[in-house]
Amino acid sequence: MICTVFRPKRIKDGKIQVARMYRGRYRLGDDPRVTDIPLHTNDKRVAQQRLEEIVKERQLESVGLLPPQASREAGQTPLSSHLKDYVADLRALGRNHEYVYIVERTVTKLMEECRWKFLCDVTSDSFVTWRAKQAKAAKTLNEYLASMSAFLTWMGKHSRLDHHPLKHVGKVQTNGRQVRKRRAFTDEEMRRLLAVSGPRKVVYLTAVYTGLRRGELAKLERDAFLLDGPKPIVNVPASITKNRQQAVLMLHPDLVAPLRELLAALASSSWRKSAKSG
């Protein structure tokens, strides 16, 4: 093992110059790597003591008796600060704006209601206790767990966490516990909706015949619709689809004519005003 302090030397103008501050050099056991670190002192005894403390910490870390330094520092940082970094990383990765907003809001609310301020506060027991008191739907409770678990997993990947406190928390059973059962409109319900939808009728028709989501429809541009060919299509770019894959969808014949009228009227302010009021 190597453990020594020294002041770096260099030759300048033919003369040997010795640095004022000490540095340390160490190697642990059979590890071939030699680590060189600044000790930020010009006192040799202080430098030796600091180096010995650093080496002792590294030895304890190597055998699992002490968490890594990055984890210890993360444990002293408020969870809210870690969450800001997580949200910033999600945005940098190009995650959907609405998704990032929901994740930040969900995790923030959970931390507030569970009184989690630091990593040491996050435990499976505290989460399960909080969940048992909730009147929320099973699906909603599982979304809270998923959002918080994803946040903690991200912290683990970035060496801010050495164990996942919610890793073994199970999901709530959703079968038979749906608060609101979702279903498709019946033909009669769709006919009644279209009869009173006014200028929005073509939007509803497009949703029915293409299966596109509301957010995807809202982001479509005029040039996405190719209506003049033998097989009219809508080209949905990967940038707006949920799975980030381009989709080319054939358009139903009953939809082509209303779409042509809509695209021709888009420049008309009167149509825009009637659509907004509808």
Residues of the chain predicted below pLDDT 50: 270-272, 275, 278
How do the domains of the chain map onto residue ranges? 2-66, 75-157, 187-277
| Strand arrangement, sheet containing 225-226 | 225-226, 233-236, 247-250
Residue 268 confidence (pLDDT): 59
Residue 218 confidence (pLDDT): 86
Strands 23-27, 35-38: pairing kind: antiparallel
Residue 270 confidence (pLDDT): 47
- Global pTM value: 0.55
Contact 122, 161 (CB under 8 A): no
Residue 7 confidence (pLDDT): 94
Q: Contacts for 145-152 with beta carbons within 8 Å, 24 or more apart? A: 145/169, 145/171, 147/102, 147/103, 147/106, 147/107, 147/110, 148/106, 148/107, 148/110, 150/103, 151/82, 151/83, 151/86, 151/103, 151/107, 152/122
Tokens of 183: 């279903």
Residue 271 confidence (pLDDT): 45
Angle, CA 194 vertex, CA 188 and CA 195 arms, to 5°: 90
